[in-house]
A and B are shown apart, each in its own frame.
Chain A
């Protein structure tokens, strides 16, 4: 029943796509300056149908309708209600439907909200967006249909991987998808701009909001994923340079570069082709990341049981996308002259783009090199976190200096003397760094530089805030918050990295372990039965040797029945200055429990500063057009 409704709706959306492309191409040839009413209506109906199809799938999950293979494979009647819904996008097929939903919704919104822009440009955007929609719809119907039915109908489902049954992970995919798939609209718009000749300033204005939306959601989605990894994976880290994390960073670097160079296009009407290239590569990288993850080439939590034909389809589609985009680009490329003064904001934004490109290439090489080597020579290697740290971290230092100064330099040619202020702030940063170094402990030369650069950026942002309070220039605030957030993020990660304590040991119940600062007493274990799992809860008494402060931590080992899996739940005591982090694990029912104890300073501040970066983006969206 649901299977037929779902497939019916998806097929209708597919047919509507063809109609929209057809009518839009007819409309292109007319001389009237407005878009036909019927195109708006068709798009609205298309949006409604695709959303309905998604709700159909959600209903399937809520009712545990196991006649759908997808529900059978990824859900279970005992699963909590919230995770039944989240299970809809916790699998390949369901998330693909979500992906298409976003493509369609963005297509409609772009059409509606850009009514004051060129007709041809809007129509071409609509056409290309619908070509993308068609591509993914065919993929869904032919290869990954969430509405496929199964007969005889099973009585019980297989369940969702317990590690995915988590609030952060339930909202992580939709956030990232709005971020990644949202890029599609300016991919289409970039091609439309080349074809219709509607470029420059006006083009920048038409896509600006969409770039900020997808940037903000991408940033937030990556942060939420990282928070999840911190408390769920049980290692106490928040970034592992795991291939999947890397895959999410690639489009982020491109879109961050785009976000900045778009301002140059808007204000100075130059860099048009570079902006186009960034528009095209952002979505291409999003799809590439998805391809690498979904095809099972990369080993990760996102690898649903893999299927080679899936990878081949995405690869074909991706190549088609890239080649047609490249051809259209070269056919429409005209020489552009650049006229930049070294001491202008344009130059600083170009520097930002150079850094973003560098980070992107670094991560791309680190990610793809092992794959190529394996295919070519069958030698299996992996590139560890040290590679990324060594290459990226030193470059953060000059990057942060430029990031602080750049926004204060004026367009075209800067006259103001900020040299004096800069030296003063650098001096301040050096002094603060020395104080930290002197009172809290020694660290390497590079760490000194990182701290100085981060403190410089933070101090500079404070000056910017002071200036903002005086002149109330609203467009400045989001940028200040995002840049300040980045400075704080690097600073707190630095502190966290330098002053974290970590101890691994094995204990039996009743034993006591002493570390330098803490006494850890493994008092007892309890068992708790829950709806879909059984938990073994350890009771640990932690005494801080310095101040005799006592705390109890209760990490859990959860034994899920559907599917049968163990998960280790860390217990984290968060305070303003530090997190205490304890995980307990057990292998083959041994008497010894594996304990990982960590004291991580300023963890909460890492999240707060990262969230500030995303907040900057969302704040920018609330500004009205006339405030620009």
Chain B
């Protein structure tokens, strides 16, 4: 027979263990549901299994003279020097957003050529380039 003390301890340890297992499963599950994939315009073009409803990130350079602004939104073309994608966004753009500068947009694909952004990511340093975009431009500019 187990004493009451030992019983209590077993109960306590099992509940802590169970709580932790559930917590970890919960974390992993939420993580999987909330991952944002990053793609370049070329990757979008070539990809065959795009989920159009899912939030994702697109990045590249803002094409020269492609920015159009009207009352409702701002539209611009993002290029990785091979392929392009049109992005539409309504909201305030970060201060370092400009032609021929790197940009990352977060939002949903309407089709393979049109992306609706909910958020344009701010960069804080004019010399700083997000690693994703740096890789793309270095690869394609050659």
Contacts and interface: CB of A to CB of B under 8 A. Distances in A.
A170 B31 CA distance: 35
A504 B71 CA distance: 10
A299 interface: yes
Interface stretch (B77-85, B89-97, B108-116): B89-97
B19 A234 contact: no
Contact of B30 (A358, A391, A596): A391
Interface in B35-61: 35-38, 55, 57
A506 B34 contact: no
B18 interface: no
B92 A163 contact: no
A382 B71 contact: no
Nearest to B38: A380
Contacts of A585: 92-93, 95
Contact of A595 (B23, B30, B92, B98): B92
A588 B122 CA distance: 17
A381 B37 contact: yes
Interface stretch (A194-202, A259-267, A360-368, A529-537): A360-368
B122 A233 contact: yes
B121 to A, nearest CB: 9
A56 interface: no
A626 to B, nearest CB: 36
B37 A505 contact: no
B140 interface: no
Interface string A330-363: 0000000000101000000000001000100110
B96 A506 contact: no
A590 B92 contact: no
Contact of A506 (B23, B71, B106, B126): B71
Given A161-B124, A504-B92, A585-B95, A590 B131 contact: no
A391 B23 CA distance: 9
A595 B31 CA distance: 33
Contacts of A379: 37
B16 A390 contact: no
A594 interface: yes
Contacts of A564: 126
Contacts, number: 124
Given A361-B27, A568-B92, A585-B93, A563 B34 contact: no
A123 to B, nearest CB: 38
B70 A592 contact: yes
Interface in A388-439: 390-391
Given A595-B92, A596-B92, A506 B69 contact: yes
A305 B92 contact: no
A505 B97 CA distance: 17
A592 B132 CA distance: 31
Interface residues of A, number: 51
B72 interface: yes
B69 A366 contact: no
Nearest to B66: A588
A234 B120 CA distance: 12
A300 B57 CA distance: 17
B77 to A, nearest CB: 13
Interface residues of B, number: 48
Given A387-B31, A587-B67, A587-B97, A594 B92 contact: yes
Given A381-B35, A382-B38, A301 B124 contact: yes
A556 to B, nearest CB: 11
Contacts of B124: 161, 163, 300-301, 303
B31 A161 contact: no
Contact of A234 (B36, B67, B92, B125): B92
A567 interface: yes
A184 interface: no
B127 interface: yes
Contacts of B131: 296, 299
Contacts of A505: 71-72, 90
A395 B72 CA distance: 39
Contacts of B126: 563-565
A391 B73 CA distance: 33
Nearest to B73: A506
A588 B27 CA distance: 43
Nearest to B132: A380
Contacts of A305: 125, 127-128
A281 interface: no
A386 B98 contact: no
A553 B57 CA distance: 34
A357 to B, nearest CB: 9
A588 B67 contact: yes
A383 B19 contact: no
A594 B125 contact: no
Nearest 8 CB-CB pairings of A with B: A387-B34, A504-B91, A380-B38, A596-B92, A301-B124, A592-B69, A590-B69, A566-B95
Interface of B: 8, 12, 16, 19-20, 23-24, 26-28, 30-31, 33-38, 55, 57, 67, 69-74, 90-99, 106, 122-128, 130-132
Interface of A: 161, 163, 233-235, 296, 299-301, 303, 305, 340, 342, 354, 358, 361-362, 365-366, 369, 379-384, 386-387, 390-391, 504-507, 563-568, 583-585, 587-588, 590-592, 594-596
26 contacts: A161-B125, A163-B95, A234-B95, A299-B123, A301-B124, A303-B128, A342-B8, A342-B12, A354-B20, A365-B31, A380-B132, A381-B38, A383-B35, A384-B106, A505-B71, A505-B90, A506-B71, A506-B74, A566-B95, A587-B67, A587-B97, A588-B67, A591-B69, A592-B69, A592-B70, A594-B93
Given A362-B27, A594-B91, 20 more contacts: A161-B124, A299-B123, A303-B124, A303-B128, A305-B128, A340-B12, A354-B19, A361-B23, A361-B27, A365-B28, A381-B37, A383-B31, A386-B33, A391-B27, A504-B92, A507-B71, A564-B126, A588-B99, A591-B69, A592-B69
